Amino acid sequence: MNNAMAEVELVPFEQAHYEKLIEWVPTADFLKQWSGEAFTYPLTAEQLDEYRKQQEGDKPERLIYTALHQATGEPVGHISLGVINYHDRSGRIGKVLVGDEKMRGTGLGQWMVREVCRTAFDELQLHRVALGVFDFNVSALRCYERAGFQREGLKRDLRLVGNTYWSLVEMSMLEDEWEKLR
């Protein structure tokens, strides 16, 4: 972990973080890239209220985090672990966003992914964690590969955005691969 990450912690996503997250999503295309079909543009507090409800209960279907800069108390990123299946011991990382532009390129995204993997594998005892990333998002692909994820395949022309189809790269990590990284 570099020095910048020593100043950041993952905390549960709260209403106090809504404004910053909404600010980080400037266009409909960006919202689609970040969240897939989860939200409609413009992102609103009401949509985020519904999103947060998924993390309630003893066995939530989603864990949602804000990366918070400890010195300033300001949100700098967002990430979730969703589609948690306790029987099959699987989950899916999604909605990964380094929102603070000054923090991009510092390793924050990789750190957030690894922290969520730590929760997934070490605390929840999951066997498999997957994610999807659009194939044109080269920096995200590089981030996930550096975090230890393997490419599984390509879902070609999965989303029509404007007049262009976007293809999705599926990636995953298994618990034994996580053990080797630790």
Domains along the chain with CATH numbers: 3-130 (3.40.630.30)
pLDDT in tens, 54-73: 999 999 999 999 999 999 99
Distance CA(107)–CA(5), nearest Å, equals: 8
Q: pLDDT tens for residues 90-118?
A: 999 999 999 999 999 999 999 999 999 99
In this structure, what are the phi and psi dihedrals at residue 54, rounded to the nearest 5 degrees?
-70, -15
pLDDT reading at 2 higher than 80: no
Total-model pTM: 0.95
Q: Say if residue 1's pLDDT is above 60.
A: no
C-beta of residue 171 within 8 angstroms of C-beta of residue 152? yes
